[in-house]
Structures are given as structure tokens and as C-alpha cells.
Structure 1
Amino acid sequence: MATAADQQADPLERFRQEARAWLAENFPPSLRGKDNAMSAVEGPGDQSEDEARWQQAMGAKGWGVPTWPKQYGGGGLSRAEARVLQEEMARAGAWNPIGGMGVMMFGPTLLEYGSEEQKLEHIPRIADGTVRWCQGYSEPGAGSDLAALQMFAEDAGDHYVVNGQKTWTSGGQWADKCFALVRTDRSHKHAGISFLLIDMDSPGVEVKPIRLISGASPFCETFFTDVKVPKRNLVGREGQGWEIGTRLLQHERTSLSGGGSTGRMMGGEPISAVAKKYRGVDAEGRLDDADLRMRLVRHEMDARAFALTLRRAALEAKSNAGPSAASSIMKNVGARVTQDRAELAVEIMGMQGLGWEGEGFTEAELTQTRTWLWGKAVSIYGGSTEIQNNVIAKRILGMTEAG
């Protein structure tokens, strides 16, 4: 006789078989094991025919955003079903082709704060990956103190006229639309901020990519000169932007804390395997450097503990509360683990980990050099480590400044 647990497990097992069959039919074998080429901060590039077909299939199914409501183009899956789907995708070597800032940050925020008309207009095109979004938050004079932003949206009847500048606009040169914090009232610092959606092809929008030390240009300066924005593009009410924008940052920090693998590098190899390749092993097959071996073990313990904590946080997110200030802890720990791994990689590879170009280096080695340099920004973007420490101290530990 089937137990209650068996009966409860049956629907999940049926879904697992459905997901496995669908992936076998729709996931192109040529893409097995590849990374998502359409990340949040990289250009869309030229999609192959198989990549385009895979994105279209996942978008039509809604499984790129598996737990989002079906009426807006999502998969409508439960958390448990989404975990099963993730397991089956990993089993098939499949990756999610639907991503970017629309999925990471804006979509979840719009589902919470947007009007029904805004959800119907924007969420389906995020869910199928046909529209790319960028973030208009930081300004030259408003980085750590984001509430000091000055880009102004002047009320012009049925629309706003926006003037100002944003910087560090991730993917701005490729984005179709921008979600931005703008000032609608100069007399109040926080209460004078609103959340506005801007078409990047609007007259008066100018984008200038910023080249980083890693050689990439994923960020931009973005200038807005007399840009007309319909009032229907205001999310929430005027003056609610700080509340909405803070909520969006919690989604961002939750996503960034788990962004990227914490235990693999160079073509998917574990860092311990790379260490053995470059440093050699002793007679017992162990890494031939006791001190490095111990530091690698500590790093892998931290990485695995962090991965388990992320998984636990995802399970706890079943409530309607969504991400909390604890996302700041995750963001800080994720940044440290990522940077520690990059530093260890360079140490392991020695001079081969410092190459920029030339025949003396493999493609993987040159990629690792750029990854190491790129990783320096991990503790800055999405809110610096120092800002996160303030959030942790005040909102989690309840600490206040001495009066």
C-alpha cells in the first residue's frame, strides 16, 4: 500500500519524466555543457541556429523563469518542480538561455510593484528573452550614497522630460529598455525619488561604453537629454522609487551572491585538478605543496558551505517575504569566495596566470587572467562590501550609531 509520502512524491516524479522527455526533444546536443552566452553583463553576440532555437523553445515553455506566473509567460512551476527541472537540465548538460537583468532584478520587482498593464506589457518579453533591460541607478555623484542622485524627471503633463546622467550601466549598449531611479522632487532626498521605465532608443539617450582593466566593456556612461517618457512608465507612485529600488537591490544581491560557479574554473575543471596539473603531485597522488593544499581545502570548504547556504536560502524563500536584508550577507560572502578563488588560481598558475596575449599562453590561461582582473569589481558592483556591512549592522544586527 502506497504511503502518503509516496503519493506526494508521485507528481514530482511524473514531472521529472516530463521534463526529461522535453529536454531530450528540445535541447540541441551541440550546446551540451556550454555556458549561457547571453549573460547580464556581456553582449548578446551572434547566436548560432541551435542557440536561437533553444532560447525560443525555453521562452515558449516559460521554463527560463520557471516559477513566474503562467499568465505572464512564466512556467508556473512550484519551487519543488523548479528544483527538479534544474536537476534534469544539469543531467542533460543544458543551460538556461533566458537571463540578464530583466530576470535577475527587474522582473521579480515588477511582479511585486507593477500595475497589471505593466506586467502584461513587460514580463512576457523578459520571460522569452526577446527584450534586454539595463539598470539606471548610479551617477557620477551618487554611488555609495545612491539617494544623492540628481537625474531629474520634470512633469510635462502626460509625460516626463528626463535630463541627467547614469554611470556603470551594465549592458547599456545592448539594452532595449532601462529601469531607472530618477528625482521627481528636489525638496526631499529619499521621498523625492521615483522608479521610471525608459526606452533606450528614445531620442536624447546616448550610451558610451567604459573599458575595464580586464579588457571588457560591459558597463557604460549613459546620458539623457530632454528624453520624453510616458507617465504610464512610472512604476508605483511618485516618491515610491526608493522603496521599489531598495527591493530591487535585494533581488540583485541575491542573484549576484550565487552568480557563477564557486568551485570550478578553466573549462569546468575543479580548482584542485588545475592545481595538480600546474604544481604536480607527490608519490601518494596529493598536491605537491602542503601549504597550498591546505588553503585549497579551506577554500573548497568555504565554497561548498556557501553553496549549501544559498540552497537553504532558496528553500526558505517559499514564503511571500522574498529576499531580505540577509541578501547583503550572501553578496559579501559570495564576493570573498569568488575573489579568493581567482587569487588562488593566479598563484597556482604562476606566470601562466598573468598572460595577456601571445603564443606562450593557452586560451584558458588568458581567460583566467581576465577573470582575475574582472573579479576585482565583484566586491563593488551591486553595492560595495562596505555598504553591505552597513546594511548588515543596521538592519540585521540592529546596531545604531553612537549618539
Structure 2
Amino acid sequence: MGFFDKIKKAFMNEKEVKPAELDATEEANDASEEPAAETNQEEPKTLESEQEQLSAENSQEPEPQAEPEANIEVEKEIPSTTSVEKEEAAEEIVVQEKYEKGLEKTRKTFGERLNELFANFRSVDEDFFEELEETLIGADVGFDTAIKITESLRQEVKLRNVKKPAAVQNTIIEKMVDLYEAEGIGENNALNIQKDGLTVMLFVGVNGVGKTTSIGKLAHQFKQEGKKVLLAAADTFRAGAIDQLVVWGERAGVEVVRGNAGGDPAAVVFDAVERAKTENADVLLVDTAGRLQNKVNLMNELEKIKRVIQREIPEAPHEVLLVVDATTGQNAMSQAKQFKETTDVTGLILSKLDGTAKGGIVLAIRNELHLPVKLVGLGEGIDDLEPFDANDFALGLFKGLLKEE
């Protein structure tokens, strides 16, 4: 089942489930009221009756102990896989809800743009298609992506003779989903974690995009998984960058290898790699400077860091993750392009996705840069950095925008 079919199914299920949920709630309320009435009738008791009841309870043998034993036996009969499956299902629901909530602003803004578009046009003509291009570009899906979607819609409208606004809107979403899915074919969104030995990840990105915060959150996740994690504070030029990483290290419960402010970043990384090998660490996360305004210096610095790492671990770094701020929209695209030219970026972390109406930038990144989004920030909590899931993203972005035709 493709993404669009899943979104349609989610939309139909949402329409069908709501009345049943209301009925179930009413039944539960009715059922909860009856015991309350019975309890109220039994409340008036005399002091003597209470004393008699208390003495009777004291004289009885401790039979209630049999109840926990029965419960324990029942629990033992349930296969362990059942509880594991339930936990996994519960986690999936939580993640889906995070995506839906995190993309709420984007979904609402895009829906408003579509409503405005259809309010201004009574027929699907050339002016409509031109306005649609502007609408899609305004939704931060990117210029090239907007052109592709509009051209595809032109052909589909002619082929299927689509005229109703609801049908046209559904077709627009279908084309966006189809393009999104097609661009993601063969894309590997999983982090490259080594099964044996040390995994080294470099983090790059301009100041203020949430790079250090993302490192701290990812360190927390790895620590929760039972991995031995070290952080390297190689952003030695920005005031407060080292201290900020130390604070996140304390929150995540992992140690930070640091040097002096203004020192050589490569020297810090060398110390971190040596310590990680000595302590048999599983993961080393390296924070780097993001002085994009001076590409030559930045490139030289990153190359020096890579050489230091590869002298000890030839196949490392295993990831070079670019952190971009989703709230900046097309500026994030511009940063991604420049960093891609400067260094070998293996994937993106899209931070602050929950605080923006510009989540459509993921479509542009997929279509124009062909870089996989590996992690997304869906909240401010330490547990709110999630692995990117294309299915959950598509559902979160478009669910609720489909119309009944």
C-alpha cells in the first residue's frame, strides 16, 4: 500500500471512528454512574454495624492473599512476545502522534493556502496552475518541486477530467505524495551504527540551528539503549559552545572531552578518539564549528578533523550529519547546498520541525538535494528527537487535508 492509499485510509478511519468513540464514551459514563448510585445507598451505617463488620474481618483467615497468586499465574500464561508487541505498538502510536502534532502548523498553513487558492478560482485554467505554483513555493516545497507537481497535475486533470474543487485538491495532494515517495526510493534514513567497534559521527551546521541540542538528545537516546557514549567539544571558537555541550552531557549522563576555548579542534578530536578507544566506547559524537561565511577555513578544518580520525579508524567518520533549522525554510535549503559543496554530508537532522509552518522543506530537500533526512526534532524534550520515518511524515503532513468528493 502506497503512502497516498494509507493517508486515504487514515482519513476514512478517522471519519468512521469518531461516532463509535462517542457511543462508547456515553456507555462508559452510564456504566460508571450506576455503581455510584449503589454506593450512595449503602453509605448510612451505625457505629455498631461498623464495629461488627470490623471484628468479622479480623476474625476471617487471610484469604485475599490467594488473589495476587491467581493474578501472577494468569500473567505467566501470557506469552512474553505479547507484551513486547504491545509495547512496540504503543511506541509506534506515540511516534505517529508526535509527527501529527509536530507537523500541525505546516498542515494548517498548507490547508489555508489551498482554501484561499480555491476561493479565488471557479475553474481549473492556466491562471489556476500559475497560482498553484506560487502557493506551493510559498509552502517551502521548493521551486523545482512546485514545477513538477504543477505539470503532473495539468496532465492528470486533462486525463481524468477533474473539475470539482475537492477532487482537484485531493489530486494535488496525491501528486505531492507520489513525488515524495518516488524521490525517496532507495533512500537510507537509518544511522550508520557499527555492530562492532566505535561509531564516529561528525555534526556540522551554522550557529543557532540546534546542533548542540541535537547532539545531546541523540547521546541520551544511545545511553538509554545501553551504549557507552562520549562527546567531543570541537567547536572551540564559538563563545559558550563548549559549556553548552557540557550541560547537555550532564543531562544525558555522558562525558565530554573538551579543550581550551580557541584551541585546535583537531587536537580535541584526537584526544576524544584515543579516550573512546581506551574506554571501549560504542559511539563518539563530535560537535564542530559552523563558520559557513568562510568556506575555505571551514573545509580545511573539517578535512583536518577527518584525517585525525582516519589515522585511528580508517573507515570513519561513519556519519557526517548536517543540522538545519526547519523554521528557516529556504534558508535551510541554501545552507544544505553550501555544506554539501564543502564537505561529504551523509544525512540531515531537521531540527525544530514542531515550531514551524515550513515542514514542506523536506519535500524540497528530497527532490533537489537528494540527501536523506535521518532525524527530526519534534519537540523540546530530551526524548523528542526521532528517527525520520517517511510514512509517519507523509501522514502527519497531509492527513486531514483530503476532501470528500
- Assess same fold via TM > 0.5: no
Which has the higher Rg, Structure 1 or Structure 2? 2
Q: Give the structure-2-normalised TM-score.
A: 0.24
Q: Relative contact order (alpha carbons < 8 A, sep ≥ 6): 1 or 2 greater? A: 2
Specify which structure has the higher proportion of helix. Answer: 2
Specify which structure has the higher proportion of strand. Answer: 1
